[in-house]
Amino acid sequence: MRMSINIFVSPTSTWKPSVAPSICSATSAMPKQPSWEDFAAAEDWASAVVAYLRSKPRQIARYWEVVNAVVGESSQASRWGVRSATLDVLEALKKLRHERTIMRFRRRQLVLIESTPIIPLEDIPRHHLAWPVR
């Protein structure tokens, strides 16, 4: 009587002990930056608008698309809350435009002005200008 046993045994060269996950990983050491959704939920309208525009750097940001996205993410309880939040976002946009953080482009689009200092004409030497300054 012949008996054969078919058991698969992995060779010792391929076996590796299991590794416990590291407690201190590199990703947990870095603090997570809040997204525009987090700012909108906290009703920090100006930060939410700037973070929204930063999250879509190469896309056209339409004026009302930004307003509706930020207000929609804030999860208002009533219609009156949505209307009030919309007015607050519009006020924050107006303030950001006056501070020259953002700029309206072609009336319906918003552009984020990133760290571009605005130099008055009086501070520019005359030989750098293409036209004479009086």
Domain-embedded: residue 42: yes
As a whole number of angstroms, the distance between CA 14 and CA 56 comes to 46
Residue 94 pLDDT more than 90? yes
54-88: buried (b, 16+ CB within 10 Å) or exposed (e) per residue? Answer: eeeeeeebebebbbebbbebbeeeeeeebeebbeb
131 touches 121 (CB < 8 A)? no
36 touches 52 (CB < 8 A)? yes
Question: What domain range is 71 assigned to?
Answer: 34-114
| pLDDT at position 131 | 61
- Mean residue pLDDT of the chain comes to 79
Domain-embedded: residue 64: yes
Number of domains forming the structure of the chain:
1
Amino acid sitting at position 61: A
Domain-embedded: residue 38: yes
Residue 27 pLDDT more than 60? no
More confident residue, 95 or 113: 95
Q: Which CATH number does the domain housing residue 53 bear?
A: 1.10.10
Could you give the C-alpha distances from 104 to 59, 67, 92, in angstroms and in order? 14, 13, 14
Q: For residue 104, give the H/E element and its range.
A: strand 102-105
Domain-embedded: residue 25: no
pLDDT tens digit string along 57-79?
778 889 999 999 999 998 888 99
Domain-embedded: residue 123: no
